[in-house]
Structure 1
Amino acid sequence: MKKAIIIFFLFMAVGAVAYTLYNNKTEMNEAANLAMKSSEFISITTEKVAKKTVNRNFEANGVFEAHQELKLMSETSGSIVKILKKKGSYVKRGDLIVQIDDRLIRADYEIAKLNRDQAEKDLQRYANLAATDAITKKQYEENEKAFKIADAQFSALKKRLADTQITAPISGFINEDYYELGTLVSPGMPIADIINKNPLKLAVKVSESEIAKVKRGDMIPVEVNAINGQEFSGKVDFISDKADASFKYEVILEMTGKDADQIKAGMFGTAKFEFSQNEEVLQISRKSIVGSLKNPGVYLIEKGEAVYQPVTINTLDEGTVEVLEGLTEGQEVISSGLINIKEGTKVKVQ
């Protein structure tokens, strides 16, 4: 009797487990079916292609640069014995800045000059003798060779002597100097930094759509961040023919007017390009664009499915783009949920 009761409870336990497993399987199947039904489409939102008013004027920021800037180097060795210009001095091209001790080089130069002059006289005398066949051709050629050697030595020492006088290769201000009286210099050692900021230039970067409006010779208003309440002007002096990696083109403005002397190289400026009045263009949000700005596109909805549409755009401000080709006013494009969408994906507007 006791054994029969145990068997009965075992059958009851097995039945309970089987029933629970059956119910769990049913619930899992229902959940899977529900998931399959819910994955039949992706919830999205849309926006309409609409006409909006834009202003084609634009601004571009940049840094003012000197017209010329170089680091003057020594081409000889020796100690500085005379200083004529220091930091902050204005120099004209060819002005003497420092004099390096030239006593030894000058002595060698004078000897070389005497040797060269003597060799020239000897060559002339031998040329006269050769004309009367008083000497052989070989004797004349040896004297000609001696003159060329003496002349080359003289030219080399003349250059070395000139190198002891370090002069300004351009006109401008000495922005930094690296010498004192008695400083021992050597070839390649920096002597001074010279800056010629006349005329000063402002380099800015503009986009593909903006560059088409800029022309060489255009006069552009310019604001200097460090000089409040005053407006300057610059003339477009250079426009690059090729865009950089960010699809921007370089434009260089040459600053004009007497007040431009207030601007220092390294200051920040803003060029204000003003060309046209307000106009209406087709616009959509930047977030509705898929792909890169080089190969952009959007997704339309046809019969409940996403359809890819390539477009031509122009980037505007405030996160919007102008649609140049590919869409018409009133069309709806998918604006959210794009991460899971591809051609033919079933979608449902929320």
Structure 2
Amino acid sequence: MKKLIIIALVVVSVGAVAFTLYNNKQEMNEAATLAMKSSEYISVTVEKVEEKTVNRNFEANGIFEPSQELKLMSETSGAVVKIQRRKGDYVRKGDLLVQIDDRLIRSEYTIAKLTRDQAEKDLKRFENLAATDAITKKQLEENENGFKIADAQLGALKKRLDDTKVTAPIAGFINEDYYELGTLVSPGMPLVDIINKNPLKLAVNVTETEISKVKKDDEIAVRVNAMSNQDFIGKVHFISDKADASFKYQVELIMISKNQDEIKPGMFGTAQFKFSQEEKVLMIDRKSISGSLKDPGVYLIKNGVAVYQTVKIHPLDDGSVEILDGLKAGDEVIASGLINVKEGTKVKVQ
């Protein structure tokens, strides 16, 4: 009997819970239906597309670089026996940096030179004999080939001998050296890093809208972040024809200021592109743009309904955007309430 009573109580409890949930669901559905009926439109504000004057001045950051920079490698093997230049020294093109032990190669070169000189004498004698038909044509050819081989061997040893004298291929400062007296070097081993910062370069990246304003040989004011109290000038030397992966173009400036020696490669610089002309463009606030800057659009209002319109824009520094395509002066776009707006939504301007 007790079991029957317990079962009955459980059944009644489950039924009560189910009834309560059903009533709650009905109430929620009725509330949602009522909300939809009462919200026949979304309240929004609008912004008018206006023609305003803008200045095309802009800045671009970059890092100063030397005009030439190379890591000089050894082309021979041996021990360093003489050091002529060290880190921090200025070198001219052709200056001797280090001398590598050349005694063995010099001996081989001397033997090769004697062999080559003897082969040259033998060839001249055989050419005279060939003129009187005293030797065969084959004998003459063998002597000619012998001379060519001896001459080639001498040339190879001359190159090896020259490689023991490590000279500077460019003018500049030795930024790092990798040798001491007695250091054993081998082909491909780095010896020195040389940088030539005359002239110094500043490479910056600019957008497709900005690149159209830059011309070769333009003189541009440059600010060095570490020397805020000094002014510098750079001349546009190079403008890339193709954008990089971020859709920006490289502009390279050659520094032409007299005080530029104080600038070190690796410092940060800012190129200040300033233009005297001002232009009138169509503008709206950035907040009126729906979607990202890569795929922008706006909502117009037609017959009380939101209509999506794709646009082409260019962001400006003051929080607004320039309309390049898709709208005209006087058009009104939805400025607020965009979070609830989509194509076809009924809207009402507040």
Shorter-chain TM-score tier: 0.7 to 0.9
The answer for the alignment partner of 2:95 in structure 1 is: 95
Cα distance in 2 between the residues matched to 1:34 and 1:117: 112
The equivalent of 2:180 in structure 1 is: 180
Q: Does residue 160 of structure 1 match 2:128?
A: no
The whole-number CA distance in structure 2 between the counterparts of 1:20 and 1:72 is: 86
Moved more, 267-276 or 329-338: 329-338
Name the CA shift for 1:147/1:337 in 2 (closer, same or farther; >3 Å). Answer: farther
Describe the superposition over 1:213-234 as per-residue Cα deviations: whole angstroms up to 9, x where unpaired: 1111111111111112110111
Corresponding position of 1:27: 27
Q: What's 2:76 paired with?
A: 76
TM-score of the superposed pair, with normalisation by structure 1: 0.88
CA apart distance, 1:348: 4.3
2:184 and 2:144 map into 1 onto residues whose CA distance is 40
SS at match of 1:199: strand
Q: Distance in 1 between matches of 2:71 and 2:124?
A: 46
Paired position in structure 2 for 1:213:
213
Question: Quick one: distance in 1 between partners of 2:349 and 2:97?
Answer: 77
Per the TM alignment, residue 73 of structure 1 is displaced from its structure 2 partner at its CA by 0.6
1-structure distance, mates of 2:324, 2:101:
70
Shift of 1:308: 2.2
AA aligned to 2:151 is D
Instruction: Rate the CA distance shift 1:143–1:291 in 2: closer, same or farther, 3 A.
Output: farther
1:74-103 deviation per Cα after TM superposition (whole angstroms, max 9, x unaligned): 011000000011111111111100000000
Letter in 2 for 1:193: D
Asked whether the 8 Å contact 2:173–2:195 carries over to 1, the reply is yes
Q: Aligned partners of 1:72 and 1:19: how far apart in 2? A: 88
TM-superposed deviation, 1:198: 0.4
Identity %: 73
CA gap of 1:22–1:210, structure 2 versus 1, over 3 A, is closer
Shift of 1:328: 2.5
Distance 1:349 1:153, change over 3 A: same
**Could you tell which deviates more after superposition, 332-341 or 227-236?**
332-341
Q: Deviations over 1:161-209 (max 9, x none)?
A: 0000000000001011111111111111110000000000111111111
Q: Counterparts of 1:275 and 1:168 in 2: how far apart (Å)? A: 43
Task: Describe the superposition over 1:122-147 as per-residue Cα deviations: whole angstroms up to 9, x where unpaired.
Answer: 11211221222111122112112211
Structure 2's unaligned 5+ residue stretches are: 1-8
Which is further off, 26-35 or 118-127? 26-35
Residues 41, 172 of structure 1: alpha-carbon distance in 2 compared, 3 angstrom cutoff: same
| Residue identity matched to 2:81 | V
5+ residue gaps in structure 1? 1-9
Structure 1 residue 237, shift from structure 2 partner = 0.4
User: What's the counterpart of residue 284 of structure 1?
Assistant: 284
Structure 2 counterpart of 1:31, one-letter code:
A
Give me the whole-angstrom Cα distance separating, in 2, the residues matched to 1:92 and 1:135.
55
Q: CA 1:306 to 1:160, structure 2 compared with 1: closer, same or farther past 3 Å?
A: same
Deviation (angstroms), 1:22 = 7.9
Listed one character per residue, the Cα deviations across residues 271-316 of structure 1 (whole Å, up to 9, x for unaligned) are: 1111124444321122333455455332211123221223232221
**What does residue 59 of structure 1 align with?**
59
1:55 positional shift: 2.0
Q: Which amino acid aligns with 2:167?
A: T
* Contact 2:55/2:275 (8 A) holds in 1: no
Equivalent residue, structure 2, for 1:129: 129
- Using the TM superposition, give the Cα deviation of residue 65 of structure 1 relative to its aligned residue in structure 2, in angstroms: 0.6
Q: Which has the higher mean CA deviation after the structures are superposed, 323-332 or 180-189?
A: 323-332
Alignment partners' CA distance in 2, 1:31 and 1:72: 80
| TM-score normalised by L of structure 2 | 0.88
Partner residue in 2 for 1:5: none
Distance 1:210-1:23 versus aligned 2 partners, 3 A rule: closer
Size of the alignment, in residue pairs?
Answer: 338
Quote the Cα distance in structure 2 between the aligned partners of 1:339 and 1:153. 82
Let me know the Cα RMSD of the aligned residues: 2.6
Distance 1:340 1:129 in 2: 106
Cα distance in structure 1, aligned partners of 2:273 and 2:21: 75
Instruction: Name whichever of 80-89 and 304-313 sits farther off.
Output: 304-313
Measured against aligned partners, the alpha-carbon deviations of 1:247-290 in whole angstroms (never above 9, x if no partner) come to: 21111111013211111111111111111244443211223334
State the one-letter code of the partner of 1:103: R
Q: Counterparts of 2:27 and 2:212 in 1: how far apart (Å)? A: 65
Counterpart check, 1:269 vs 2:274: no
Give the whole-Å Cα distance in 2 for the aligned partners of 1:246 and 1:348.
Answer: 40
Structure 2 CA distance for aligned equivalents of residues 33 and 291 of structure 1: 30
Cα 1:38/1:241, change in 2 over 3 Å: farther
SS of structure 2 residue aligned to 1:238: strand
